Amino acid sequence: MKKILVIHGPNLQLLGQRETAIYGVLTMEEINKTLEAVAASRQAQLTFFQSNHEGGIVDRIGVASAEGFAGIVINPAAYTHTSVAIRDAVSASPLPVVEVHLSNIHKREEFRHHSIIAPAACGQISGFGAQSYVLGLMAVIGILESH
């Protein structure tokens, strides 16, 4: 069974109540339940991690491989645009990493158009609401199955 780590970045614990016109009405827990159902159908096991702290995310990425994870789905949230540390952790990881975003970051404020993380990831999916996470999970599973 493939173990996949799903990382939710800062403020994502507020999903369902925060700026619902942008991020939707589903909570992080509801998104996680959907992902668990998809993962079970593809013989994958998920572990979820949410942090508002850059260092916590960096630490989690850094030990993921040693803990037996095969891939990572990450929504770095606001750190997408600012965190060289998370970018470097993704780059240093031997695992396939897919970056996801609920909103289309390229249709938002100018400062959100650039992802520091994307060049270090296998790919980026944005703009499909909670479905972005499902597509990201399917991408990681597809990468794992093709190797």
Residue range 67-81, pLDDT digits in tens: 999 999 999 999 999
Q: Would you state the pLDDT for residue 9? A: 97
Q: Would you state the pLDDT for residue 110? A: 79
Q: What pTM does this model have?
A: 0.95
Ordered structural domains, the chain, with CATH: 2-146 (3.40.50.9100)
Average pLDDT on 50-56 reads: 98
In the chain the first and final C-alpha atoms are separated, in Å, by 15
What mean pLDDT value characterizes the chain? 94
101 annotated active-site: yes
The closest of 84, 106, 88 to 97, measured between CA atoms, is 88
147 annotated active-site: no
pLDDT at 20 over 90: no
Residue range 115-141, pLDDT digits in tens: 999 999 999 999 999 999 999 999 999
Structure letter (DSSP) for residue 141: H
User: In which residue are the tokens 């970051």 written?
Assistant: 105
Spatial strand order in the sheet of 123-126: 44-50, 2-8, 71-75, 97-101, 123-126
Q: Contact at 8 Å (CB) between 46 and 4?
A: yes
Q: Would you state the pLDDT for residue 112? A: 74
Q: Which of 8, 23, 79, 133 is catalytic?
A: 23
Q: Which of 101, 106, 133, 147 is catalytic?
A: 101
Q: How far apart are CA 16 and CA 26, in angstroms?
A: 5
